[in-house]
Structure formats: structure tokens, C-alpha cells
């Protein structure tokens, strides 16, 4: 069993992530977060919000609508450009990204029956590029069955819907493919109501939807996902400085929350990779088990494209007037954008450990599996365990459980041997286990077990609050 099989198996078995609509044979590119998964996902969002909004006076929050006026997507270019070039097999109906298929051919490694090609999507290819793709695919057969391929055609990634009772062109709308545009169209509203001054940012966490041609690699690419985005508005000329600032801040955030630095890197985009509106872009990449380093978060210098486009299409003035310098300008935008689900996957993969237990240690068995999650990200912060099913021990343990339940998401477990219970908590990433034993009734102290070091410290109950606060918060 390879690492990703172990990851997906553990995620389902322990209640982190389930396949979407599994009862009805599933729906590709969708996932459901279980009891532990939703806690961990919320912890990631809380940590991002705390660092990006709560601790910054110059950043305000927003929660914009998922369904926006279709004119928003015309202005942003998504209606005409947010497409992937694709081909279908006429025989087996398997679908491929045309550019990815060519890449695989050039590598002399065609995808197998079970392999999905899942590189980053690109915006629409111009007609001459589509012509070039068709030329390169001339005579190429389906790697899956050997059938003939269709001509390359553009596939828009936005999900269509209709607003109102009549489904016609006048009621056409889209599920948002990103959260950023909701921020841009609210620029003037936030500026007026929050009394911010340039430089300032607007942050948002929310759902986005993309009808991906080839979703795959577990949570890495899905059709329904969540984004954490910041649009940071700056004065033209200061954009390079702020771009470099946010590159470092976002890289450091992942490292500070437990991802090993050797699995992270910054990769600057080459000029031919940049979107037509971008002045510069850098990816924070993570070394995933499938294919190595891939995008975890993107930081882009979007220039004045977004506010300029929405100002032009809406007929509204979205420029900023600087009271101090008496200058009027359309702000430039620095955008750090990260998918919650992809961040979840990186944290989960990076935390996965298999460790041979010492021969003398019978608690864990031959191999101990655990998630070395940072306490701020771990779904369960503390597990409270009576050593055995004894009425007095259970009473003390349940009192402690109720005491900490209002502070953190904590667990209580009295079923099976203490070693088995430790192992269960290790597998879900619980950083600390608190054990109530018969000595507790005499010395009013408990044993605190550290997940990573497997050390056990004796702590007085009256000292627990301060001790745990320093460890978990």
C-alpha cells in the first residue's frame, strides 16, 4: 500500500474525509468532511483568519455571495477565458486535457487506465494555440483504449445555474469559480464602512466551484472546494515591495503551523506562465507524494486589472483618493490565495508518521501510526482517559472532560486497554492524553502523555490549566 492509499484509508476510517455521495456510488471530485475532518478544517480556517485578519488592523473581513451577477464574470474575463482545452475518446469516452496529454507524450509516458492527469489548469487558449494543439495531437490515439480522439475544444470550468423560475438566457448565472471577484466588487463598500486607508486588505473564506475536466489525487483537485483569499490593495509603485512581503509571510505561516520546511519551497512563475493581467506570481509549493512539488498557495501581483475592469464594465469610479498626497489612482492588488482543502491535504500528509516502537515498549505494538499535527491544527486537543473502568476514576476523568470541553475540542475514552486508547488518539493526531489513575486519588495529580515524544509527566490537577495553555494555545 503506497502512502496516498494509507492517507485516504486513515482519513475515511477515522472520520476525517469520506467520498462524496458514497451511498450512491459516489460523485467524482466531491468529498465530505467527517466529525474529525470538519474540526481540523475549521482549525485551519481559524488559524488563517487569526493571522490574516484578527492580528492585523489593516485587513477587514468579508463574506460575499456565491451567486453573483453574470456581468461580474464578463468583466473578470471568466466567461470568455476560464476554459481548458480538452479532447474526448470517441470509443471509451475518456476525457483528457489536451495540453496535459501532449506533455505526457513528450515525456514518453502516457497515462494508464487508473492515472489521472492533474496539473494546474490554465486560462483559455487562443484560437492559434488550439490549432497548434490539434496539430500536435494529429494521429494520437487514446492512451486508455487506442480509440480516435475528438478535435480540441474549449471547456468552460464554471458551473451554470439559473436565477428565477424561467431557465433562459436572461436568467443565466454561475456558481463562483473563485472568491476574489466578490471582494473586488465590494472594494468601495468596505473602504467606506471600515474607514481603511491604502494599503489595506479584504479577506474572505468561502466555497468555490469548478467543473474540472480531471479532478483527482484525493483533495488536491476537486469540483467543490473552499478558498482563503486576501486581496491587499496598495499604491502603484509599492506593489513589488508588498509582493515580496506577502511571499515571505505566507511561506512562514505554513512552517509556523507544523509543515516541515524541507517540504516547502517558493517558485516564481516564468513570464510565459503569467496570466495576462499579472505582473508577477509566486507559488508556495509542497512536496506531495504524487508528482513532487505542486502548488499549495499562489501569491500574485495582479496590478490594477481587477478594479480597472470592474470600473469599466460597471461605469463606477473605483479609484482611491489619498487625502495626504492629494493623489487619485486605481490601487494595485497583491493576492495570496490558498485552497482550504489543499492545505488540509498538505497538513495531513506532512503529519503522517509510521514509527517502529522500541522492543521494550509493548504499549504501541510493532508499528505506531500517528499524525504529528501542530496542536493548533489538530482536531482533538486533549484526550481524557481513566486508566481502567473504576467508578472513582471515571468520576474524576469526566469532571476534567467537562472542565476542558468548553475550552477545546476534547475526547473522553474508557473503552479497551490504555495502550489501545493511546494508539487511537495517536492516529487522529491528538497531541496530549491525560490519564487518571489510582495514584490520582491520593496525590491529586494526573499523567500527561506527549504524542510525539511518548513521554509521560505527572502534573498536579490544580496546575493543569496553565500547563495546557502553554502547550496547546
Angle among Cα 64, 67, 72 to the nearest 5 degrees reads 85
Tens digit of each residue's pLDDT (9 = 90 or more) over 243-252: 999 999 999 9
How many angstroms separate the CA atoms of 378 and 116, rounded?
30
User: What pLDDT, on the 0 to 100 scale, is given for residue 358?
Assistant: 60
Please report where in the chains the cell 480538452 appears, as a residue. Answer: 86
Tens digit of each residue's pLDDT (9 = 90 or more) over 148-199: 999 888 777 899 999 999 888 889 999 999 999 999 999 999 999 998 999 9
Q: Is domain 365-472 in CATH 3.40.50.800, yes or no?
A: yes
Q: At what angle do helices 3-13 and 340-351 cross, to 10 degrees?
A: 110
User: What pLDDT, on the 0 to 100 scale, is given for residue 99?
Assistant: 80
The pTM assigned to this predicted structure is: 0.87
Count CB neighbours of 135 within 10 A: 9
C-alpha 173 chain-centroid distance: 26
C-alpha 429 chain-centroid distance: 18
The residue extents of the domains of the chain are: 3-70+161-189+200-312+333-348, 365-472
Res. 108: pLDDT tops 70: no
Q: Is domain 3-70+161-189+200-312+333-348 in CATH 3.30.930.10, yes or no?
A: yes
Angle among Cα 429, 54, 63 to the nearest 5 degrees reads 90
Q: Which residue has the higher pLDDT, 110 or 97?
A: 97
Tens digit of each residue's pLDDT (9 = 90 or more) over 21-79: 999 999 999 999 999 999 999 999 999 999 999 999 999 999 999 999 999 999 998 88
Nearest one of 399, 402, 381, 385 to 436, comparing CA atoms: 385
Please report, for residues 90, 105, 134, 211, the alpha-carbon distance to residue 152 in angstroms, rounded to integers and kept in the order given: 13, 16, 6, 17
Question: By the 8 A CB rule, do 68 and 256 touch?
Answer: no
User: What pLDDT, on the 0 to 100 scale, is given for residue 359?
Assistant: 55
Question: By the 8 A CB rule, do 98 and 85 touch?
Answer: yes
Amino acid at each position: 500500500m503506497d502512502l496516498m492509499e494509507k492517507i485516504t484509508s486513515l482519513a475515511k476510517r477515522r472520520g476525517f474525509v469520506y467520498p462524496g455521495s458514497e451511498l450512491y456510488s459516489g460523485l467524482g471530485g466531491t468529498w465530505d468532511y467527517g466529525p474529525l475532518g470538519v474540526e481540523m478544517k475549521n482549525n485551519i480556517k481559524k488559524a488563517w483568519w487569526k493571522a490574516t485578519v484578527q492580528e492585523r488592523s489593516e485587513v477587514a473581513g468579508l463574506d460575499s455571495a456565491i451567486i453573483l451577477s453574470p456581468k461580474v464574470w464578463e468583466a473578470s474575463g471568466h466567461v470568455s477565458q476560464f476554459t481548458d482545452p480538452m479532447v474526448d475518446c470517441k470509443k471509451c469516452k475518456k476525457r483528457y486535457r489536451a495540453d496535459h496529454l501532449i506533455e505526457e507524450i513528450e515525456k514518453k509516458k502516457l497515462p494508464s487506465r487508473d492515472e489521472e492527469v492533474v496539473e494546474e489548469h490554465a486560462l483559455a487558449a487562443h484560437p492559434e494555440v488550439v490549432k497548434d494543439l490539434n496539430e500536435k495531437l494529429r494521429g494520437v490515439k487514446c492512451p486508455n483504449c487506442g480509440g480516435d480522439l475528438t478535435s480540441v475544444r474549449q471547456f468552460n470550468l464554471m458551473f451554470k445555474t439559473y436565477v428565477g423560475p424561467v431557465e433562459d438566457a436572461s436568467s443565466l448565472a454561475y456558481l463562483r469559480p473563485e472568491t476574489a471577484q466578490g471582494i473586488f466588487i465590494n472594494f468601495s463598500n468596505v473602504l467606506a464602512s471600515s474607514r481603511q486607508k491604502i494599503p489595506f486588505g479584504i479577506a474572505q473564506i468561502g466555497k468555490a466551484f469548478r467543473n474540472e475536466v480531471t479532478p483527482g489525487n484525493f483533495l488536491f483537485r476537486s469540483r467543490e472546494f473552499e478558498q482563503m483569499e486576501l486581496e491587499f490593495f496598495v499604491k502603484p509603485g509599492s506593489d513589488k515591495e508588498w509582493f515580496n512581503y506577502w511571499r515571505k509571510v505566507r511561506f512562514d505561516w505554513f512552517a509556523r503551523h507544523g509543515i516541515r520546511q524541507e517540504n516547502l519551497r517558493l517558485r516564481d512563475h516564468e513570464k510565459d506562465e503569467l496570466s495576462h493581467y499579472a505582473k508577477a506570481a509566486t507559488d508556495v509549493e509542497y512536496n506531495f507524494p504524487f508528482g513532487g512539488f505542486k502548488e499549495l498557495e499562489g501569491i500574485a501581483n495582479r496590478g490594477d486589472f481587477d478594479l480597472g475592469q470592474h470600473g469599466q464594465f460597471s461605469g463606477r469610479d473605483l479609484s482611491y483618493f489619498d487625502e495626504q498626497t492629494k493623489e487619485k489612482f486605481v490601487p494595485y492588488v497583491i493576492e495570496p490565495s490558498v485552497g482550504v482543502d489543499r492545505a488540509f491535504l498538505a497538513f495531513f500528509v506532512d503529519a503522517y508518521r509510521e514509527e517502529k516502537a522500541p522492543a521494550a515498549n509493548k504499549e504501541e505494538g510493532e508499528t505506531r501510526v500517528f499524525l504529528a499535527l501542530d496542536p493548533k491544527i489538530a482536531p482533538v486537543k486533549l484526550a481524557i482517559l481513566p486508566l481502567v473502568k473504576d467508578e472513582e476514576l471515571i468520576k474524576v476523568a469526566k469532571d476534567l472532560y467537562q472542565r476542558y470541553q468548553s475550552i477545546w475540542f476534547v475526547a473522553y475514552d474508557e473503552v479497551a486497554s490504555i495502550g489501545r486508547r493511546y494508539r487511537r488518539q495517536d492516529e487522529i493526531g491528538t497531541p496530549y492524553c491525560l490519564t487518571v489513575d489510582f495514584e490520582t486519588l491520593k496525590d491529586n495529580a494526573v499523567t500527561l502523555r506527549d504524542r510525539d515524544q511518548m513521554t509521560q509527566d505527572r502534573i498536579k490537577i490544580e496546575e493543569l490549566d496553565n500547563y495546557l495553555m502553554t502547550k496547546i494555545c
